[in-house]
Amino acid sequence: MKKLVSFVLMSMIGLVGTLSWAGSAREDTVDRMERSVNVLHAIMSTPDKGIPEEVLTGTKCILIVPDLVKGGFVFGGKHGRGVATCRTAEGWSAPAFVSVGGGSWGLQIGIEDVDLVMLVMNDRGLQHLLSSKFELTGEGSVAAGPVGRHASAGTDWKMNTELLTYSRSKGVFAGLTLEGAVVEQDNDSTRAIYGKHMSFRNILSGKATTPRSAEAFLKAVSDAGQQAHIAELNEDKK
């Protein structure tokens, strides 16, 4: 009998621990989406110093990592968790959750939190994102994005670059070089929000139902795209 009682108690403790972890993971993920909304609002409130209108209207997917940690001593590192969504025939997809990690050697001392924004600009970049794990490399696949109300006509971002990357630190947006980082699916956050594992491809292709906790994030993405599109149309009429 004592062994049975002990087993039941241990099982209950394990269940409580699991539920506690799940609740904490869900709260962290919801908070991450809320902070991503703040990043989007910051982008749209400073059009002259933010992401160009034609870049936002042309993007296939948007990925935001609030509070990406950069820093180290002797060698640099990057790590953060974020949220992504892609355009579908019905609108923006349900959110997929990502982890960004990696590093680059160099003499770096200190640590800094920055908001990371990644924009997928063509089908090749989209396929990389749908693969659930890929490395950011140079050679035209990823580049620091142009900043300002309009992108320079002399840039090749529209034709060749798969992903454009931006950073926001202390309220200022700038193009960010992020070569060598690895982007992969955040399985813990996925389970915390959807209650089960779902692949990047299924979520970002529009096969997942948007959870209520993500509605504010998707509205912010949609509003940002519409605002950029309207501004671009008004500019064309001048």
1-10: per-residue pLDDT in tens? 544 444 333 3
In a domain, 10, yes or no: no
The pLDDT score that the predictor gives to residue 33 is 93
In a domain, 2, yes or no: no
Domain boundaries, position 195: 18-237
H-type helices in the chain, by residue range? Answer: 2-45, 53-58, 123-130, 187-194, 200-202, 215-237
Length of the chain: 238
In a domain, 82, yes or no: yes
Q: Please report, for residues 56, 103, 151, 172, 201, the alpha-carbon distance to residue 50 in angstroms, rounded to integers and kept in the order given.
A: 10, 26, 11, 8, 29
Tell me the whole-structure pTM to 2 decimals.
Answer: 0.78
CA dihedral 195, 99, 110, 43 (to 10 degrees): -90
The pLDDT score that the predictor gives to residue 237 is 58
The pLDDT score that the predictor gives to residue 15 is 37
Residue 170 has phi, psi (to 5 degrees) of 55, 40
Distance CA 118, CA 78 (A): 14
The domain tally of the chain equals 1
Distance CA 187, CA 231 (A): 37
In a domain, 160, yes or no: yes
In a domain, 157, yes or no: yes
Per-residue pLDDT reduced to its tens digit, 132-171: 788 876 555 777 777 776 665 445 555 568 888 887 776 6
Q: Which residues of the chain have pLDDT under 70?
A: 1-23, 47-48, 69-78, 103-112, 137-140, 149-160, 170-179, 228-238
Distance CA 144, CA 164 (A): 6
Distance CA 2, CA 142 (A): 62
The pLDDT score that the predictor gives to residue 154 is 47
Q: Mean pLDDT, the chain, as a whole number?
A: 75
In a domain, 9, yes or no: no
* DSSP per-residue string spanning 164-189: EEEEEETTEEEE---TT-EEEE-HHH
In a domain, 122, yes or no: yes
Q: For residue 145, give the 3-state DSSP assignment.
A: coil
